[in-house]
Amino acid sequence: MASMLEKFFKHEAAGGIALMLAAIAALIIANSGLSTYYDLGLNSILSVTIAGEGLSKPLILWINDGLMAIFFFYIGLELKREMLEGKLKNPRDIMLPGLAAVGGMAVPAVLYAAVNWGEPSIVGWAIPAATDIAFALGLLALVGSRAPTGLKIFLLTLAILDDMGAILIIALFYTADLQTKYLLLSLIPLALMAWLNFRAVHRIGPIIILGLVLWVLVLKSGVHATLAGVVTAFFIPLNDRWGKSPLRSLEHMLHPWVSFFIIPVFAFANAGVVVAGLTLGDLFAPITLGIILGLVLGKQIGVLGLTWLVVKMNLAQLPYGVNWKHVYGVSALAGIGFTMSLFIGGLSFSEAADMNHVRLGVLVASLISGLIGFFVLFYAGNPENVDEPISDETPVQQPAQ
């Protein structure tokens, strides 16, 4: 049993499965006799104060502002590592997935805005722009060796760049009324972290403490506090004077906590759609319909369309072993917007009825996108497998010399 559990937690799809189970549990509990306790628990007020000053928020906001700040800190670590020595280091390597990510964010946002034009609900335009890394990579991992290695790198790079776009959107468009005093105070821990980096102080303890202070001040300022996680991550040194990598060690340490605690807890707290009273008409409510069209059609059109355009203009070529069926399957997987879409939905809407439509749209769209992507990729074939014939219709690109 212990061996089976160890294999499960090490599997690439494990995080996506944990996320899915948490979402299913939320749906069951929110529509059962336990729903009262579910709502009561999420709305319980938790306070942390010193001499009357501090934070007092419902549990749901501690999860969305606090735990998700750790998630964004983890994403920031991944981004810094990839930018310095990984898939984002060479601009040529990121052109194709980068432009695909731009299309995969712009087209869904336009479709949502078109459906909600002239309505107050247009504020949720960014909800279908995001892709859920854990779910998308988890389903691709379930496809196994049927997916070429180049396709996995393409999806991972696209998802990372998608997260960068989501971070920028949150910073620019989902900031509450600014409290200048706290925003100015937040420059102090920021300057101290920069000073520590300049002095090549490679102990991460002081940076983490300063990052926590930065989180509190940013939260009080009105700027969304999860951004403090990303900023702090970029001050964690990749390598130290002893030849070790504090960033890699921290990323490795956080990975199981993010995959099997933070993201499932977030999903459990935010995926509880109350189906009682829902009708077929709710699927065609502007918010729900905009999200479904954005994630299902918008992602496919944006990712596949921009990829096709870039390749046809000879600006880049498909990764080795990847054909257009693979690209279509990945464009469908990009429509799984679960975690980030729910997160941005919570920033966009405060009314319970609106959030129920957000949850319904995200769940339906993610389910449709996941099924399409999985089955397309499952039957698309992999030229890297010698036992599989290579289609004559799509030439296999040779690795760049």
pLDDT digit string (tens) for 171-185? 778 776 667 888 888
Residue position matching structure tokens 């010193």: 50
pLDDT (mean) for 122-144: 80
Rounded to 5 degrees, φ, ψ at 54 are 165, -150
Q: What percent of the chain has a predicted confidence (pLDDT) above 70? A: 89
Q: What letter represents residue 284's amino acid? A: F
> Which tens digits make up the pLDDT trace of 9-33?
565 567 778 878 888 898 899 888 8
The pLDDT value given to residue 387: 44
339 pLDDT above the threshold of 80 = no
More confident residue, 37 or 224: 37
In 3-state terms, what secondary structure has residue 264? helix
400 pLDDT above the threshold of 60 = no
pLDDT (mean) for 148-165: 80
In 116-186, alpha helices (H): 133-143, 149-173, 180-185
Would you say 260 and 15 are in contact if contact means Cβ atoms under 8 Å apart? yes
CA distances from 50 to 54, 63, 206 (A): 6, 21, 21
Supply the mean pLDDT for the chain: 82
386 pLDDT above the threshold of 50 = no
More confident residue, 14 or 233: 233
More confident residue, 285 or 166: 285
> Which tens digits make up the pLDDT trace of 249-269?
999 999 889 888 988 888 888
- Quote the Cα angle for 101-105-109, to 5°: 170
The strand pair at 45-50 and 53-58 is best described as: antiparallel
372 pLDDT above the threshold of 90 = yes
Residue position matching structure tokens 């729900």: 288
292 pLDDT above the threshold of 50 = yes
CA distances from 215 to 72, 73, 120, 229, 327 (A): 12, 11, 30, 7, 39
Would you say 193 and 210 are in contact if contact means Cβ atoms under 8 Å apart? yes
Would you say 266 and 71 are in contact if contact means Cβ atoms under 8 Å apart? yes
pLDDT (mean) for 366-392: 73
123 pLDDT above the threshold of 70 = yes
In 3-state terms, what secondary structure has residue 45? strand
User: Most confidently modeled of 15-24, 96-105, 151-160?
Assistant: 96-105
Rounded distance between C-alpha atoms, residue 400 and residue 387, angstroms: 24
Neighbours of 399 (CB within 10 A): 8
pLDDT (mean) for 105-112: 95
The pLDDT value given to residue 208: 93
The pLDDT value given to residue 391: 43
54 pLDDT above the threshold of 80 = no
Closest CA to 108 of 301, 281, 242: 301
User: Most confidently modeled of 71-80, 179-188, 369-378?
Assistant: 369-378
> Global pTM?
0.73
The pLDDT value given to residue 401: 35
Taking the alpha carbons of 271, 35, 262, 5 in that order, is the dihedral positive or negative?
negative
Confidence of residue 392 (pLDDT cuts 50, 70, 90): very low
Q: How far is CA 344 from the centre of its chain?
A: 10
The pLDDT value given to residue 266: 84
Confidence of residue 307 (pLDDT cuts 50, 70, 90): very high
